[in-house]
Structure 1
């Protein structure tokens, strides 16, 4: 669904930008945003945990959820299986944690080049 692509974009990382390799467990991206407006102009350091969507890593989820401050759930709206999966992710990562809905962002993302692309865009 493009989770790593969006994680790279948010963190301004170029890691693995040209090749696809499914995330194994979790990939932690650390980055800093200087002069953040929401923080009175002070900088802020972030850890973005890019978690695999593969349920074979479900035993790792409690460790991934510990002390989280927010959750971004990314899904492909063209895949019917993702609609059921987002309910499971929301239940595990938001409802079972002390997180408010305001700390959760749901992103529908169509990964360019995936099935369903009918036109080619040139830049």
Structure 2
């Protein structure tokens, strides 16, 4: 539903997927990183590795969704290929390793998503 709303905005050019080479000559004001999530392990493989390098090579604002792609949110260790975000919007609560990784997370915002305390405490 939100994607359809964004598609109707004439001032916004939405780019998803495709060939990174086709995007090289474009200028970006903002890139939203949602490539990888919290369950990463090991080295970042293709096509994700190239996408992360592409993002880090652009001069623009980068916003990470939940965690920057390539960051282990439990330890705060950044993979060799990790998105360098200006800002990270994470959900429910701060991931344990994020305070140690402010260099790749940037400014961190925690947004509530309606998880009740009973569910978190294992009561249910």
The TM-score, its normalising length taken from structure 1, stands at 0.36
Which fold has the larger relative contact order, with Cα–Cα distance below 8 Å and residues 6 or more apart in sequence? 1
More strand by share: 1
The TM-score, its normalising length taken from structure 2, stands at 0.36
More helix by share: 1
